[in-house]
Amino acid sequence: MVRRRFPVLRVAGIEVAVHLTWFPVLFLVAAAAFTGFSEVFPTRSPVGLAALALATGIAFFASLIAHELAHAALANRLGVRVRSILLFMFGGVAEIDGEEAATPSAEVAIALVGPAMSVRSEEHTSELQSLAYLVCRLLLEKK
């Protein structure tokens, strides 16, 4: 039997796992980053570029976890117990215990807080991209 769910961490009692179908997403993100880094730093070693590409894939993974944990944190605060989060190829899904949200407005709030977290993170993306670019230049410049 093939194991399809791989627990990766636990945050505030919520297990976060990845499904087998998520690994191709990580590969595609890392491959795209590798291609981009290769164009920006054409003289650098493929090993260094691959390490940066993998770090980019991990940062993407962390942003997905933050998005899903925002949903879970508000759900827990509003009385909807979230047991686990599963990331798979097309997004994430939460496993809840018991009842759903008590009111439609609570349900809407839980649904919107994840994208709000992503938008809030996006506000700082240009600064983070600039910082990442500077770090990459420092790491990959010829000495």
Q: Is the pLDDT of residue 139 over 80?
A: no
pLDDT band at 143 (very low <50, low <70, confident <90, very high): very low
Percent of the chain residues past pLDDT 70, beyond the cut? 80
Q: Is the pLDDT of residue 122 over 70?
A: no
| pLDDT tens track for 17-59 | 999 888 888 898 899 989 988 888 888 888 988 988 888 888 8
Q: Is the pLDDT of residue 119 over 70?
A: no
pTM of the full predicted structure? 0.72
Q: Is the pLDDT of residue 131 over 80?
A: no
- Other beta carbons within 10 angstroms of residue 114's beta carbon come to 22
| DSSP reduced 3-state for 120 | helix
Q: Which residues make Cβ contacts (< 8 Å) with residue 97, sequence separation at least 6? A: 81, 82, 83
CB 27 within 8 A of CB 11: no
| pLDDT tens track for 67-112 | 888 888 888 888 888 888 998 887 788 888 877 777 777 778 777 7
Q: Which residues pair with 88 in a beta bridge?
A: 91
Q: What positions carry a catalytic annotation? A: 68
Q: Is the pLDDT of residue 117 over 80?
A: no
